[in-house]
Structure 1
């Protein structure tokens, strides 16, 4: 397992899409982690550890992150309803969606299937 770098947050999750076109994501300060291209894989060395990600696996991994974040939007919307936020609830969900670019289509979609959306999810713009 690799420790996340300082100043590299979840809001930058889409930066990983750039790997497929040759752009390396910034992974923050210490502990320093970098992405290295090794043939058909990406490696992330840190200290004595190293994680290898096959290039062909990256689109599905990103789709999994997107599904998990979309589930968070649905949970956030349910929480907003239960706590009585009224009209501010959907606005909160939409702001989270925009801030994290959750429901906007992935550039490196693993397939043409649409992202399932729960009742509380807004369409995000990147």
Structure 2
């Protein structure tokens, strides 16, 4: 069965010490959901901090200033997106280079024939079939297709159900981030979560 999971690449959190994080090794994808650990939430926030303007660098040891820099950034971006996984075969197709969680809603057009951007090098893509889709791990930019055993095929109703589940995961991420921020900088929690919500198009249908 197809599973779609919202993930963020934790690589940019390497070396971060301002608050507790996990220790990413290379490209480490963190699933964002209500069940995230405190360390995972901290890692995601460290990734977002790494993309902020020089305002964050002005106070390198100030947690509140670092979080305020996240809040004041025009629009947050984070490498990641929706990871596709087939539970029976074990095939996993992660979002690729230059794909961001901020564009996850492109997937919502798939049941109606849409084609989301899933990154390049490799270049995953979605092939539309009769009442189903096939998610390929490469070939989206004209490369040779990989063996079909590395692709994931799923009915459209399963895709729609998994998009709903992924949306619930993202809403749960806002809850986890709220708890995390209230412990670290309660005065910024509401604004920080609002920034996450707006930047990653989480609330709403």
1:85 matched residue in structure 2: 186
Deviation at 1:4, TM superposition (A): 2.2
Deviation at 1:19, TM superposition (A): 1.3
Distance in 2 (alpha carbons) for counterparts of 1:37 and 1:61: 17
Deviation at 1:84, TM superposition (A): 2.8
2:51 matched residue in structure 1: none
Could you tell me which runs of 5 or more consecutive residues in structure 1 were left unpaired when the two chains were aligned. 106-126
1:66 matched residue in structure 2: 167
Distance in 2 (alpha carbons) for counterparts of 1:67 and 1:45: 25
For the residue of structure 2 that corresponds to 1:35, the secondary structure is strand
Structure with the higher fraction of residues in strand conformation? 2
TM-score for the superposition, normalised by structure 2: 0.48
Deviation at 1:21, TM superposition (A): 2.2
Q: Confirm or deny: 8 A CA contact 1:97 1:103 kept in the other structure.
A: yes
Distance in 1 (alpha carbons) for counterparts of 2:134 and 2:117: 14
Deviation at 1:17, TM superposition (A): 1.0
Report Cα offsets for 1:56-87 as digits up to 9, x if no partner: 1122111111111111100111111111331x
For the residue of structure 1 that corresponds to 2:154, the secondary structure is strand
Distance in 1 (alpha carbons) for counterparts of 2:177 and 2:94: 27
Deviation at 1:28, TM superposition (A): 1.0
How many pairs does the alignment contain? 104
**How big is the alpha-carbon RMSD for the aligned residues of Structure 1 and Structure 2?**
1.3
Distance in 2 (alpha carbons) for counterparts of 1:45 and 1:65: 19
Distance in 2 (alpha carbons) for counterparts of 1:84 and 1:32: 39
Larger Rg: 2
TM-score for the superposition, normalised by structure 1: 0.76
Could you tell me which runs of 5 or more consecutive residues in structure 2 were left unpaired when the two chains were aligned. 1-91, 138-145
For the residue of structure 2 that corresponds to 1:67, the secondary structure is helix
The structure 2 residue matched to 1:27, chosen from 104, 114, 118, is 118
2:201 matched residue in structure 1: 101
2:135 matched residue in structure 1: 44
Q: Confirm or deny: 8 A CA contact 1:3 1:31 kept in the other structure.
A: no
Aligned structure 1 segments of 4 or more residues deviating by more than 6 angstroms: none
